[in-house]
Structure 1
Amino acid sequence: MFYYNSNFKGSAANFVGYGGISNLAGYTFATNGNGNGNGLSVKSNSTSAFFIAKALNESATVYFNRNSGGACDWLWAQGSKQSQANQLNRTYNNNASLKVVDGEMAEGWNCYQF
């Protein structure tokens, strides 16, 4: 789940399932809490993220560029089935794509790890 503001505040956008979204430009935030960001594009507007895994070894990677390219932030559940980024590091307001995998890494070796 992406949030418009840091610390999981503002409007949110929820994504479910494995695979990837090569371009977040077509997705928008929906009202959550105070509604900041409602209706804006998720691409290049996300500042925090929360990941809930179905299994212990899943991970989500947020990329700076479309098609899973460039700098990235890696949210790995690490056995707890959840990972959170109160404030994205390398993709803060510069997120363009997302990949969720069943496995420890989604090219996480080049990413900032949460």
Structure 2
Amino acid sequence: MTDDFMGPPWQADWTDEATSNYNALPPQARTMIEAARAELVIAKDPYFRGIDTDRDLPTGMNVEPVQSTRPSGEHVLYFDHGRGWLRYHFVPRTTDPQIVIDECFWQ
């Protein structure tokens, strides 16, 4: 084991509720969700901190913290111009950092 913090691509795990919601959606919505998930797992920083954080995201996607007072807490990745979102948190373990998707929604 080294002192280096592992980087992307991150592991992504889904809660049972998020998985159920994902499975209930139509195929075109699942395709958009997979694209949003792909952006999460390849991001250098899963919290997209800093100025112009959404600059590298595809059109119609943006990220923000659920609570501005907790910048390291849960975040929301909006996709399809705000019609859908993934609520997630990042577990920055040294040996196995991962993103946990808590909620999946599309309307």
**Higher RCO structure, 1 or 2 (CA under 8 Å, sep 6+):** 2
TM-score grouping bracket, smaller chain normalisation: under 0.3
Q: TM-score, normalised by structure 2?
A: 0.27
Q: TM-score, normalised by structure 1?
A: 0.26
Give 1 or 2 for the bigger CA radius of gyration: 2
> Which structure dedicates a bigger proportion of its chain to strand?
1
